[in-house]
């Protein structure tokens, strides 16, 4: 019995050492980010042993909430959200926010999440929101590009507005850089799945000047992790690729995130009896998010 107990302890110690060595090698985000290195590896091992294999289609590789669309990576047809809809006349999709244009469109799913967010802001006395732009097709982007020029607009096919996940949010009280609406969103938007896509101190990474009005839906837990670790989407996707898998707890709920590089897609497995989402990164990789 003593030999058996000793062997069990040795195995446990070796497993612990292995886990933390792997965590160190993969460059995990610091523990104060809410990410557990050890848990991430343990969950990855568990998923590989019990999950169901899934063949990935091209459509899944180029659709989802985490697609990177910028001057280097253009959108592919599957990238546009299938539920893009007109906002005008649908108060359930705008809440207390005003519309600059009656032709504005956005993913219905994202619009509903936007309403939850601005309703929460109203509880804090912040309610003068204005939606000035949402989904744009390539024709509209082309018009804007010709009108504003490359300094103020991306060329057709390279704008996040093609996704239906991004919207420009303003305030009827002043500029977003100074208005309390902008300040509230900068602090709280991540809790609702949105991120400020083009911060002033990340211009060297995004290639886009500071846009305090441009918010992008990426969903939980990604928005919170990006905010806690001061990352824009480009940085976050690179970190996911480096780490392979992470596990994090937000407000008592545990999330798991797995990254599959293009040459690892055959290893993809989805969990049994758990809600999950798949998203391409628009670079050939795939992100699996497992929800609480």
3-state secondary structure of 50: helix
* Same domain, residue pair 264 and 143: no
On the CB side of 238, CA atoms within 13 Å amount to 6
Give the per-residue pLDDT at 13.
Answer: 42
Give the per-residue pLDDT at 32.
Answer: 43
Give the per-residue pLDDT at 47.
Answer: 58
- Supply φ then ψ for residue 226, to 5 degrees: -65, -40
* Same domain, residue pair 212 and 235: no
Residue located via tokens 């207390």: 96
* Same domain, residue pair 140 and 206: yes
**β-bridge mates for residue 217, sequence order:** 194
pLDDT tens-place values along the chain, 292 residues long:
455 544 444 444 444 444 444 444 444 443 445 555 545 555 555 555 566 888 888 899 999 999 999 999 999 999 999 999 999 999 999 999 999 999 999 999 999 999 999 999 999 999 999 999 999 999 999 998 888 777 677 899 999 999 999 999 999 999 999 999 999 999 999 999 999 999 999 999 999 999 999 999 999 999 999 999 999 999 999 999 999 999 999 999 999 999 999 999 998 999 888 999 999 999 999 999 999 9
Residue located via tokens 């744009």: 136
Element (H or E) spanning 170, and its range? strand 166-171
The domain boundary residue, chosen from 217, 242, 272: 217
* Same domain, residue pair 175 and 106: yes
Residue 69 lies in a domain: no
Residue 148 lies in a domain: yes
Domain that holds residue 48: 21-58+231-290
Give the per-residue pLDDT at 46.
Answer: 56
Give the per-residue pLDDT at 282.
Answer: 97
The distance from CA 287 to its chain's CA centroid, rounded to whole angstroms, is 10
CATH number of the domain at 100, please: 3.30.1380.10
* Same domain, residue pair 118 and 199: yes
Give the per-residue pLDDT at 17.
Answer: 43
Helices (H), 99-252: 108-123, 138-148, 180-188, 203-206, 222-228, 233-243
Tokens in use for 143? 């018009």
Greatest Cα pair distance, the chain, in angstroms, is 80
* Same domain, residue pair 251 and 142: no
The distance from CA 44 to its chain's CA centroid, rounded to whole angstroms, is 20
Catalytic residues: 211
3-state secondary structure of 234: helix
Give the per-residue pLDDT at 29.
Answer: 44
Give the per-residue pLDDT at 49.
Answer: 54
* Same domain, residue pair 88 and 194: yes
The domain boundary residue, chosen from 217, 241, 276: 217
* Same domain, residue pair 54 and 130: no
On the CB side of 48, CA atoms within 13 Å amount to 15
Q: Choose among 173, 111, 165: nearest CA to 183.
A: 173
CA 39 – CA 246 distance, rounded (Å): 7
* Same domain, residue pair 88 and 212: yes
pTM of the model: 0.86
Q: Choose among 135, 132, 89: nearest CA to 109.
A: 135
* Same domain, residue pair 25 and 144: no
Question: How many domains does the chain contain in total?
Answer: 2
Give the per-residue pLDDT at 34.
Answer: 54
């Amino acid at each position: 019995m003593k030999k058996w107990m000793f062997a069990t302890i040795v195995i446990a110690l070796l497993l612990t050492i292995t886990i933390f060595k792997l965590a160190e090698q993969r460059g995990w985000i610091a523990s104060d980010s809410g990410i557990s290195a050890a848990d991430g590896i343990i969950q990855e091992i568990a998923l590989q042993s019990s999950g169901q294999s899934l063949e990935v289609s091209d459509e899944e590789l180029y659709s989802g909430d985490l697609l990177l669309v910028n001057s280097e990576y253009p959108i592919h047809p599957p990238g546009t959200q299938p539920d893009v809809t007109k906002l005008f006349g649908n108060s359930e999709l705008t809440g207390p926010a005003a519309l600059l244009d009656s032709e504005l469109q956005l993913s219905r799913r994202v619009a509903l999440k936007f309403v939850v967010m601005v309703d929460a802001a109203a509880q804090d006395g912040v309610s003068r929101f204005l939606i000035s732009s949402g989904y744009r097709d390539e024709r509209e982007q082309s018009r804007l590009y010709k009108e504003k020029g490359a300094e103020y607009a991306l060329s057709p096919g390279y704008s996040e507005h093609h996704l239906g996940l991004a919207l420009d949010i303003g305030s009827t009280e002043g500029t977003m850089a100074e208005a309390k609406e902008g300040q509230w969103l900068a602090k709280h938007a991540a809790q609702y799945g949105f991120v400020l896509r083009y911060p002033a101190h990340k211009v060297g990474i995004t290639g886009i000047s500071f846009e305090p009005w441009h918010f992008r839906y990426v969903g939980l837990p990604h928005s919170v992790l990006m905010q806690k670790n001061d990352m824009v989407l480009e940085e976050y996707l690179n970190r996911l690729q480096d780490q392979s898998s992470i596990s994090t707890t937000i407000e008592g709920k545990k999330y798991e995130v797995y990254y599959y590089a293009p040459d690892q897609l055959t290893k993809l497995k989805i969990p049994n009896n758990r809600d999950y989402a798949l998203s391409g990164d628009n670079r050939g990789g795939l992100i699996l998010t497992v929800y609480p």
